[in-house]
Chain A
C-alpha cells in the first residue's frame, strides 16, 4: 500500500520517557477521528497517506475476516469444527500489520492469526482444515511467506529469529528492498522462556525481525497482571531494542508502526517489539467460558473501541465511502462466509493409512512395515476397509 511513514530521525535513541506512562501510538480515535500524526517515545513520527481505495481495502478485509471468523465459530457450535480460536476484536492489529508486510517478508503466526493469513493471500479455508481435524494445516509456508500455525505458546518466536538470522546470512538486509521477518505472539507468551530467548538472540545477532505482540488482555482466563508488572513493550528496552505500544484497535496506527519497524529491520537496524494493545472480544476458544473470569461491563467498554466501527465512522464522515460501499462489502463478506461453510462441509475426511504419510522426509522401513500391517488389518474386514 502506498502509505508513508515519516521518520523524525535516522538513529534509534533511548525512549524519551523510559518507565514513564506508556504512550500509545494512535492515528484513529475510537470515535473515528483521524489524528494527523503520532510520535512514539523514541521520537519516531507516524502518519499514513492512504488513497480511498486503500482505505476501502483495509475496511473490506476487516469486515470479511470478522464475518469468516463468526462463521467458523458457528460451524464449531454445529459440530463441524473441533474447536475455533476467534480473533474478534483483533482485526485491526492483524489487518494493519498484515498489510504492512511486503511480499518478500516472512511471518510466523500463532493459531489466531486468521486475519494475517487472509492478508497473505492464503485461502481462508486452510485453518479450518486444521480445526476440523482433517489435516494439521495445509498451506505451503514458503509460497505464501506465512509459516504454519504454532500451538505451543511462543515456540514460533525462535523459529522466526532463526529465519531472520538466515535472512541476514543471505545478505538480504541493508537496503530498502531487504527482507524482514515478523513473529506474532500474545501477552501470555511473553512469560515463556522461548520468547525471552528469542529476544536475546535477535538482539545479540541484530536479526531483521519485528516481534508483534497482540496484548489482548487475557491468556485464556489469566489477566495481563498475571504476566507482567510493567507495560509489555517496555520489556524490549532490557533486551536492547525499542518497544512501541500501538493502539491495536486502530488499523491505521497498527499499519504505520509495523511498516516502520519492518523497514528498520530490512535496512539492517535490528529488531523492534510492537505491543498492539487490543482486546479479545470473544472467548479464548470455543471451549472457553469468559463469563467465569471477566465482567460484561469490561467487554462493553472495549466494544466502544471497536476497530471496524471506528474506521467505518471515519470513512463515512470523510465521505471516503458511502452506503453503497458498506452494503456491497457486507454482501461480499456474507457470500464469502457462505462459500466457506459449503466448502468446509465438503472437506473430505482423510483415509486411514494417510496417518503414516510424511513422518520422515526420507521415509522409514519400520513405518512402511506398520503401514502395510495396518492396511492388511483394514483389508481383513469383510468388504474391505471398515
Chain B
C-alpha cells in the first residue's frame, strides 16, 4: 500500500507524471502549461522535469493545439492537450469533431490518433462567462470520440493514465470545482485492482431510487443520498464515469430494483446526457419503472453571471426535490 491523501488536481498531476515516465512518446501541449504549470497547476513541475520538448507551451490557438496534436499523433506521439477552460474549446471544434474523431474511420483503421483532450469543465467557481460550461454533449454526440470524466482523486489518478494509454481519441473532462477536494489514492495498486476506464460504478448502494451523476455532480448526489437517509430513503448513487460509450448495465440492474431514476448534470437538460439515459432506461426497464426518469440539470439558458450560478447549478435540494417528485408520481 502506498496510499496518499491527494487533492483531485494533484492526483491528475501525479497521473500525468506517471504517464510521461511510462512512455517517452507522451507529450503535453497547451497554453501556460509549462513554467506556470497551467492556470489550475495540473501540469505543475512537469516541464521542469521533462523539458520544453515534452511539455509544450503553445501559441494561443485552440484549433492549433488540437490540429498539431493530430499531426504529432500521426507521427507516433501521444499528445495530451490541455484546453484552458471549457468555453475555449469551441475554436478547436472542427479539429476535434471532423478531424480527430473521424480519421480512424475514414482511413479504414490505418491511422490511429491516441490524443487526449483535457478540459476543466463545469461551474461553481465564481468565474466570468465562458469559464463554467459543460460541453460534454457535443463530444458524446460525435462518433469516434470517447468521453470520460472523473469525480474523485483516485479516479483522476488512474483514469488519466488509462486515457493516455488508450489508442482512442478521448475527451477527458475534469470537474474543476473539485480540483481541491481530497481523497485516498493508492498509487501502487496492482493493475488488476484498478477500475476499468469505460465502466460506471455504484458510488453508494441503496434500494429506493437510483441517482445517476458524473464529474462534479457526483458529490452533490452523494450529499443528497446522505440527506435522504434521514428521511428514511436509501438512494443508490451511480457515477457514470464514461459518457461515451455509456456503461448502463449497472444502471439497468439498479433501476430494476429501485423502480425510480433521477439523472443529475450541470449541462442544460435539452438533449443532455439525462435525455439519452432516460430514453435507454425507459426502453430497458419499462416494466420496472414506478415513475418516469427525471432530470435535474442546468436550465436551457446560457451559463449565467456568477452571482446566479448557485440558482442554475443542480444542488442537494433540487436533487431531493426530484426524488420527492419521483416518489409522488
Contacts and interface: CB of A to CB of B under 8 A. Distances in A.
The answer to whether A and B interact is: yes
Interface in B172-217: 198
A201 B107 contact: no
Interface in A138-163: 138, 140-142, 147-148, 150, 152, 155, 157-163
A158 B245 contact: no
A198 B64 CA distance: 7
B59 A201 contact: yes
Contact of A358 (B27, B105, B247): B105
B34 interface: no
Given A136-B105, A148-B107, A162 B74 contact: yes
A197 B72 contact: no
A359 B110 CA distance: 11
A148 B59 contact: no
A357 B245 contact: no
B326 interface: no
Contact of B72 (A166, A198, A362, A364): A166
B246 interface: yes
A152 B96 CA distance: 12
B7 interface: no
B72 A193 contact: no
Given A155-B98, A360-B146, A366-B246, A162 B75 contact: yes
B72 A165 contact: yes
A61 to B, nearest CB: 26
Nearest to A366: B245
Contacts of B246: 366
A162 B91 CA distance: 17
B64 A359 contact: no
B71 A161 contact: yes
Contact of B108 (A155, A157, A198, A358): A358
B307 interface: no
A75 to B, nearest CB: 22
A162 B68 contact: yes
A194 B105 contact: no
A158 B66 CA distance: 8
A194 B67 contact: yes
Contact of B59 (A135, A162, A204, A364): A204
A116 to B, nearest CB: 17
Contacts of B35: none
Given A366-B245, A367-B245, A147 B104 contact: no
Contact of B112 (A163, A169, A361): A361
Interface string A363-376: 01111000000000
Contacts of A108: 71
A363 to B, nearest CB: 9
A124 interface: no
A165 B95 CA distance: 17
B244 to A, nearest CB: 8
B106 A136 contact: yes
27 contacts: A108-B71, A136-B106, A136-B108, A137-B107, A142-B111, A148-B106, A157-B67, A158-B63, A158-B71, A159-B71, A161-B68, A161-B71, A162-B71, A162-B73, A166-B75, A166-B77, A193-B91, A194-B63, A194-B94, A197-B61, A357-B109, A358-B108, A360-B168, A361-B114, A361-B168, A366-B245, A366-B246
Given A155-B95, A158-B71, A197-B67, 6 more contacts: A158-B64, A161-B64, A162-B69, A166-B74, A194-B63, A357-B108
Interface of B: 27, 53, 58-59, 61, 63-64, 66-77, 79, 91, 94-95, 98-99, 103-112, 114, 143-144, 146, 166-168, 198, 245-247
Q: Which 4 A-B pairs have the closest CB atoms?
A: A162-B71, A158-B67, A166-B75, A162-B68
